[in-house]
Amino acid sequence: MTFAFENATIIGTGLIGASLSLALRAAGFTGTIAAADTNPAALEEAEALGLFDRYHTDPADAVAGAEIVILAIPVGAMGAAAATIGPALAEGAIVTDTGSVKGAVIAAMEGLPRHARFVPAHPIAGSENSGPSAGFPGLFANRWCILTPTHKTNPAALRVVADMWRAFGSNVEVMDIAHHDRVLALTSHLPHLIAYNIVRTASDLEEVTDAEVIKFSAGGFRDFTRLAASDPTMWRDVFLNNKEAVLETLGRFSEDLALLQRAIRWSDGDLLYDVFTRTRDIRRRVIDAGQDTAVPNFGRPAETGEEPEPSASPDTREPNRSVR
């Protein structure tokens, strides 16, 4: 795979920044990758892991000479980063990002110099782990990357960024900015908010101890704990910067939940059964679309730390994969 650039800079050395560097190398990128992180501890960790070629605490130093700059930082930090790197950018440098909100990031990038070519991008990939050591080269493989160009976006720069994501094994989709922010409010932001909230409710309840919650979490609760372990700064910024779409989606969720609450109170079993039946089909389609695994129970092993053991009971587990 050949890339249209020789000098790349990644701002932010966390899960996404680290994975980007590893993905570039895995895809055969032979140029230079510089990194900047305003957090010296993260930068040191990245250097100890040998994730990049150059390490800078000042983003302006890191972007000097770069043909492409990728911002892998929380959405709320984008405006300040644009102001810092702007004067140091090479003529015609491509600037792109990985933020979960596109409207707010595009507005924040208004501060870049006119010669810079900004391409708004959002890879739909992540993990509950954060920091440089959480990165891995396959994070973006078989996941979607959404590009939301505006009328100002340079078509050549758009192609360079799209080709980069394809080189990582991602599927690239072009989408309207506002539509992106609504789709993600539903498929990503609301699920994280709900997950954070249920874990919080559980830890605040006085009749049930935290120890009991943890002990009996296999009944369903544990599925929510993964999302609720995601990076707090990143998610605070997402909610503050996609306020309108999140509040609208949350309103729908709460209305629907009130209906289920009423059905439970009035013993309306038919309504419950009807809702619980319709939701099954979505699971099947998520699996068919390659966005989740059909292995029962997420392939969770019986004991912690072990890898899943698909061979434990091949006779009975095998048929499940084709069920429904």
Rounded to a whole number of angstroms, the minimum distance from the CB of residue 45 to a copy of itself is 10
Rounded to a whole number of angstroms, the minimum distance from the CB of residue 137 to a copy of itself is 6
257 to 204, 243, 252, 254, 273: CA distances (angstroms): 21, 21, 9, 5, 15
Rounded to a whole number of angstroms, the minimum distance from the CB of residue 23 to a copy of itself is 10
Rounded to a whole number of angstroms, the minimum distance from the CB of residue 324 to a copy of itself is 8
Among 25, 54, 166, 317, binds a copy of itself (CB under 8 A): 317
Contacting residues for 154 by C-beta, under 8 A, at least 6 apart: 94, 117, 119
Residue 110 within binding range of a copy of itself, rule CB under 8 A: no
Task: Count other Cβ atoms within 10 Å, centred on residue 250.
Answer: 17
Q: Which is nearer to a copy of itself, 50 or 87 (CB)?
A: 50
Using CB under 8 A as the binding rule, the residues of this chain from 25 to 84 that contact a copy of itself are: 49, 76
Among 128, 153, 166, 172, binds a copy of itself (CB under 8 A): 128
Using CB under 8 A as the binding rule, the residues of this chain from 235 to 294 that contact a copy of itself are: 235-237, 239-240, 243, 246-247, 249-250, 252-254, 256-257, 260-261, 264-265, 267, 269, 272-273, 275-280, 282-294
Percentages (nearest 5) of helix, strand, coil residues in the chain: 55, 10, 35
Nearest to 105 by CA among 135, 86, 80, 84: 80
Spell out the alpha helix ranges (H) of 34-144.
Answer: 40-48, 59-63, 78-85, 103-108
Residue 135 within binding range of a copy of itself, rule CB under 8 A: yes
Contacting residues for 253 by C-beta, under 8 A, at least 6 apart: 190, 194
Residue 184 within binding range of a copy of itself, rule CB under 8 A: yes
* CA–CA dist 73, 42 (Å, integer): 12
Spell out the alpha helix ranges (H) of 170-242.
Answer: 177-184, 190-204, 210-215, 222-227, 232-241
Rounded to a whole number of angstroms, the minimum distance from the CB of residue 245 to a copy of itself is 10
Rounded to a whole number of angstroms, the minimum distance from the CB of residue 14 to a copy of itself is 12
Residue 224 within binding range of a copy of itself, rule CB under 8 A: yes
* CA–CA dist 41, 16 (Å, integer): 17
Rounded to a whole number of angstroms, the minimum distance from the CB of residue 315 to a copy of itself is 8
Q: Which is nearer to a copy of itself, 85 or 124 (CB)?
A: 124
- Count the site residues for a copy of itself by CB under 8 A: 139
Q: Which is nearer to a copy of itself, 159 or 179 (CB)?
A: 179
Query: What angle do helix axes 177-184 and 243-265 make, rounded to 10 degrees?
Result: 30
